[in-house]
Structure 1
Amino acid sequence: MTVLITRFAPSPTGRLHKGHAFSALTAWSAADTTGGRFLLRIEDIDPTRCRPEFDAGVLEDLVWLGLDWESPVRRQSEHLSDYATVIDTLDRRGLLYRCFRTRKEILDAIGNAPHGAAEAVRPGPHPPEEEAALLAEGRAFAWRLSLDRAREALGDRAWQALAFVEEGEGPDGERGLIRARPGTAGDVVVARKDAGTAYHVAVTHDDARQGVTHVIRGQDLFEATHIQVLLQALMGWPTPVYRHHRLVTGPDGRRYAKRDGSVTLAHLRSQGLSPAALRAELGF
């Protein structure tokens, strides 16, 4: 039996809900069944939305649910220098470019693009003179990963070989060995002005740093896997096995969200729901 190292990695931007409970229980059970390790990681790189009370709420909810994890808990806000090193490495290899375009400008470009959105989210670098002028003005920018430069750096053979193993199921039933399609994500942002890094860099770095063997998460993150596999290849990091699971939905068929306070674990607990009852409802 393969011993699994899994993780649950919520962002403290609200209280956990039933969907989070299902995901945490799925990852925890997979590790527990194999005598493996279950890690808790707090993905708090967004300083505008993450709050200490939600961080504390994560721990409170998971303890109530009956889960345990290794210490210490990794909080991404405490490791920003690690991600800065990754960004610097990619930049020194010529794989990044500065993008001064606003979100509205990008969306407008998508709407006007003759070849559709897939082309428009690859804006490319600014002309050197324009970039120099924008830097002189002190304009904020994001770092984007150039897919063209990444493909050139890897070589066509390695690019074509990018793949991951899906042991769960993607939104359209994808499973088994899946060829990665990083091009569908465009030139993704890898560092933002407000956080110094972005989700894809932080999560792939931490999965490698923590030795995660199986990434178990919801199907809503399936598409993110394609660009994460590319980053793993560029940085020489191992690609974990992925298990994407179904999303828990309410009676109306809609997935649960943090903004719906009626399904948060804190609210359910206040209404007298027991951890055992919730686990049974979720199939554990």
Structure 2
Amino acid sequence: MTQTDKIITRFAPSPSGLLHLGHAYSAKLNYDFAMENGGEFILRIEDIDHLRCKTEYENQIFVDLHWLGLKWPTPVRRQSDHFDDYAAALNKLSDMGLLYPCFCTRRNIREEINESSRAPHLGPKMGPEGLLYPGICKHLTDKEIAEKMAANIPHAMRLNMDKALKLVNEPLYWEDLNTGIQKATPEVMGDVVLARKDFPTSYHLSVVVDDDIQNITHVIRGEDLYYASHLQRLLQHLLGLKTVTYQHHGLLKTKDGNRLAKRDKSITINSLRESGTHPEELDAIISDYL
């Protein structure tokens, strides 16, 4: 296997809380897949949310993953150190005429959706992650945009999905190791936010940029991000980035069917370690939540 053929996986947690058993499961899947195929496992810190991410959580990530027996090359890429990379991608999309400023508050969007629900033929559209943005700011005139900008009204930059799809000359596909070749249908995600004034990039934008820069070949992550792959495949195409192979694994859930979350202190990796659990016992513990 040549260097260009080498499989590279990554685990990319956000340091906004302690890692739990579900994170251990995902990290181990990535690590084991890379090792079994003579590849490389990379750790990335996704810390673009400066309001929620904390240094102590980042430090704990390293401790937890070392306890699991995982190894990775250093230095570790931190998204907060690379806003220029995301700005370059955002500017490219802007130069292509694919972005528009959105000045809506959550209340504006909620009121618009409530109003449109009264007209069945214009009712709100539902996406895999909930109601789609109803396009309030999509058709603002240049004058209206300039006035709002001059008034310093906070805004986000949204992807104009209609325009983006017109630049796709043939169907886009992506591969999932569990479900096979998938036809990309990014329109199900609507006009997603790709940047905000306080957060100069979004998860969707930064992750495709990072994966390309780090030569990631396989993205192994939870099934809750399955539909994100449709959108990210489109962004890869628009930005001229390398495509990746995906695998979406099942989520760990409690007996009442709820997903494990960072607020569940009893199943954090830190609490398991402090309770005397050994890393070799984790597979059996994880199986109870699958």
- Which residue in the other structure is 2:41 paired with? 38
CA distance in 1, matches of 2:114, 2:66: 46
- Conserved in 2, the CA contact under 8 Å of 1:95 and 1:150? yes
CA distance in 1, matches of 2:229, 2:139: 25
- Give the superposition deviation at 1:81: 0.7
1:245 has 2:259 as partner: no
Residue by residue over 1:72-131, the C-alpha shift from the partner in whole angstroms, topping out at 9 and shown as x without a partner, is 111000000110111111111111011111122122222333232248515114222221
CA distance in 2, matches of 1:213, 1:112: 44
Residue by residue over 1:156-179, the C-alpha shift from the partner in whole angstroms, topping out at 9 and shown as x without a partner, is x32xx11111112xxxxxx11111
Secondary structure at the residue paired with 1:178?
strand
What RMSD over aligned residues (CA atoms) do the two structures have, in Å? 1.6
- Give the superposition deviation at 1:252: 2.5
Per mean C-alpha deviation after superposition, the further-off stretch among 266-275 and 112-121 is 112-121
Pick aligned residue for 1:133 from 135, 147, 151: 147
- Give the superposition deviation at 1:238: 1.8
- Gap change, CA 1:99 and 1:139, over 3 Å in 2: same
Q: TM-score, normalised by structure 1?
A: 0.92
Within 5 A, what are the aligned runs for 1:39-188?
A: 39-113=42-116, 114-118=122-126, 121-123=133-135, 124-154=138-168, 157-158=169-170, 161-168=171-178, 175-188=179-192
- Gap change, CA 1:17 and 1:153, over 3 Å in 2: same
CA distance in 1, matches of 2:164, 2:184: 14
- Conserved in 2, the CA contact under 8 Å of 1:5 and 1:37? yes
Pick aligned residue for 1:262 from 245, 266, 280: 266
- Conserved in 2, the CA contact under 8 Å of 1:99 and 1:126? no
Residue by residue over 1:13-34, the C-alpha shift from the partner in whole angstroms, topping out at 9 and shown as x without a partner, is 0000000000000000000001
- The amino acid of 1:162's aligned partner reads L
- Conserved in 2, the CA contact under 8 Å of 1:110 and 1:120? no
CA distance in 1, matches of 2:124, 2:230: 20
- Which residue in the other structure is 1:172 paired with? none
- Which residue in the other structure is 2:283 paired with? 279
- Gap change, CA 1:46 and 1:240, over 3 Å in 2: same
Identity %: 45
Q: Can you give the 5+ residue segments of structure 1 that lack an aligned partner in the other structure? A: 169-174
CA distance in 2, matches of 1:59, 1:165: 31
- Conserved in 1, the CA contact under 8 Å of 2:14 and 2:53? yes
CA distance in 1, matches of 2:163, 2:125: 20
- Conserved in 1, the CA contact under 8 Å of 2:103 and 2:153? yes
- Which residue in the other structure is 2:13 paired with? 10
Q: TM-score, normalised by structure 2?
A: 0.90
Runs of at least 4 residues off by over 4 Å: none
CA distance in 1, matches of 2:145, 2:133: 19
Residue by residue over 1:165-202, the C-alpha shift from the partner in whole angstroms, topping out at 9 and shown as x without a partner, is 1112xxxxxx1111111111111111111121111110
- The amino acid of 2:177's aligned partner reads E
- The amino acid of 1:50's aligned partner reads C
Query: Paired residues, what number?
Result: 273
CA distance in 2, matches of 1:269, 1:58: 13
